Chain A
Amino acid sequence: MPTSPSEPQESFDLAVIGAGPAGLAAAVTAAELGLRCALLDAGPRPGGQYYRHPAPGLKAAHPEKLHHGWGIFTGLSARLKRQTDLGRLTYLTEHQVWTAETGEGWRLHATTGPGGSGGTAVVPAAAVLLATGAYERQLPFPGWTLPGVVTAGGAQAMLKAGLVLPGKRIVVAGSGPLLLAAASSLVSAGASVPAVVEATDYLGYARGVTTLAANPAKLVEGAEHGAKLLRHGVRLRRSSAVVQAHGTDRVTGVTIAKLDRQWRPVPGTERYLACDAVAIGHGLVPQIELATELGAETVELGDGTVGLRVDAELRTSLPGLWAAGETCGVGGADLAVAEGELAARVIAGREVPGGLRARQRRRRAFAGLMAAAHRPGPGWPEWLTPETDVCRCEEVSVAKIREAVDDLGAGDARTVKLLTRAGMGWCQGRMCGAAVACLAGGGAPRADSRPLAGPVRLGDLAAVPADDPTY
């Protein structure tokens, strides 16, 4: 790709950021409807995190064994290939967008190549669709920084792409439907999973019987995972949490405990489980900083995270910016595909079929039910000890954060960050943000704010031309 920022660039009708389920569906639909479309993604292959799959050199004959709904992905991939072959769609792999500018249209700035080693690119477009997905929410616990403790999505990702496991006996813990999917993949791939430890009691789903009934595919998916776990003798422990990981150089076991309705550990219910890895996660956080930096309006979601506010046609509050899939609230691949297609049709000025709109609404309702059912209870900090690191990058302990709040008067996450450096390290608070905000007690959750959505070298920043009066 000619990607020097000083070179003239063709302008696209639509630039889609993210080649996961939502972005793929949007890009191929838009291209098929005649829009000149660019699809940018940080990864080397399409699929995003959900449809992550082995590298070609691994010659996997049956990648579908690690996936749900693989046929949908192969269908989207075939359409992607057709549209790129026809020259209607420009697919820019290994393009990590780190900021977006808006004025007379949009300019997306990206680093290129593996790990950003290939230089920079600027992609101009009349409209942008944000399909950047999500990353996992983590709640810390004593021992969670030990090697062998990995995120549930990370265990999935490393298995799907690299065909590797972090251990042989893996406790899966946290909250949310990803746990069942991860445990199901891990046992299929030969790991033993002594328990799936889920913090909620699942009773939250009972409040949405009609929503459940309207989404039979989601029920079937859950039942399939459940049946596989039963077959492999995996114990589902509800209303429970890992309250400590043990080990010195790597994890050797965990202590789990029952939780009350507020997610407080119930004394006397502790139980030790031997394991050599832990896969942990508490749902997903929409990855929306490219939009929030520009002032896009957000909305608090049922699980306590923040997503982009969109209208029924998936327009954000910023002119020319659309969003689809997890950026509007986490709801799974099928919803993401529906929203990608819906947004593309709106952007292309076409009618949205009633069936598509109905499917999107049903799945969105299910997403809301799911979010509320797995919202963390307020009592989870009771499983922390003063020594527990909350911020992994800057090694900021619970004691230091409590000192900032109790003794130094910090009342929100931002002040805690300034006083303790929590969230100022490499990951920019992606791993500790939810926990720090909770410990700071600053009220309603706020959207993450990061001026740059990815790491950029100073040389690359210096190379951005500053002489364009339009921006």
Chain B
Amino acid sequence: MSGARQTPASLVGARPEAAHIIEFDGREIPALPGQSIAAALWAADILAWRTTRVEGRPRGAFCGIGACYDCLATVNGRPNQRTCLLPAQPGDTVTTQEGHGRADLAI
């Protein structure tokens, strides 16, 4: 093989429309049209965006098809969103979900 290393986009000859921006924990992350939030985070080399309830351990996308719920995050203020299923929309605000993600319901 010669030349530049293959990428997923070059492999399928993708010429995506212009990236838009989502916010992750105050950081601006580019997302390509149609990419899920989880895919946009992976593309930015971010693999974890949730902490577990008991041990506070980092988690991100595991199954990638909506079955495992490890990829939950708070999206635009709504906790427990499966980021591997949600298309990233321009201006989305994603925040790391701590624990059960329902601090807003505490009394």
Contacts and interface: CB of A to CB of B under 8 A. Distances in A.
A57 B63 contact: no
B65 A154 contact: yes
A188 B6 contact: yes
Contacts of B65: 49, 135, 153-154, 157
Contacts of B53: 395
A249 B12 contact: no
Interface string A136-157: 1000000001011111011111
Given A55-B34, A249-B58, A392-B68, A61 B12 contact: yes
Contact of B48 (A136, A147, A188): A147
B94 interface: no
Interface stretch (A76-84, A98-106, A163-171, A325-333): A163-171
Given A115-B82, A161-B36, A162-B35, A188 B11 contact: yes
A424 B7 CA distance: 39
Query: Which secondary structure dominates where chain B touches chain A?
Result: loop
Interface size class of A (residues with CB under 8 A): 35 or more
A431 B34 CA distance: 27
A212 interface: no
Interface in A225-281: 249-250
A66 interface: yes
Of listed B5, B47, B54, B64, residue having the most chain A CB within 10 A: B64
A63 interface: yes
A456 interface: no
Contact of A55 (B59, B60, B63, B87): B87
A129 B99 CA distance: 39
Contacts of A159: 8
Nearest to B45: A167
B60 A59 contact: no
A249 B48 contact: yes
Nearest to B20: A57
A354 interface: no
A58 B32 contact: yes
Contacts of B10: 190
Interface in A385-432: 392-395, 425-427, 430-431
A461 to B, nearest CB: 17
B62 A61 contact: no
Interface in A55-92: 55-63, 65-66
Contact of B70 (A162, A164, A392): A392
B8 A57 contact: no
A114 interface: yes
A54 interface: yes
B86 to A, nearest CB: 6
A58 B86 contact: no
B59 A58 contact: no
Given A61-B14, A148-B47, A162 B36 contact: yes
A62 B10 CA distance: 9
Nearest to A394: B54
A150 B80 CA distance: 19
Nearest to A150: B62
Interface string A180-204: 0000000011100000000000000
A55 B61 contact: no
Of listed B9, B15, B60, B62, residue having the most chain A CB within 10 A: B62
Contacts of B17: 57, 59
A166 B62 CA distance: 10
Contact of B8 (A148, A165, A250): A165
18 contacts: A54-B34, A55-B33, A63-B12, A66-B8, A135-B63, A147-B59, A151-B62, A154-B84, A158-B61, A163-B8, A163-B32, A165-B8, A166-B47, A190-B11, A394-B54, A395-B54, A427-B69, A431-B63
Interface of A: 42, 44, 49, 54-63, 65-66, 114-115, 135-136, 145, 147-151, 153-159, 161-166, 188-190, 249-250, 392-395, 425-427, 430-431
Given A57-B33, A156-B64, 12 more contacts: A44-B87, A58-B9, A59-B17, A66-B8, A147-B47, A147-B58, A157-B65, A166-B47, A189-B8, A393-B69, A426-B72, A431-B67
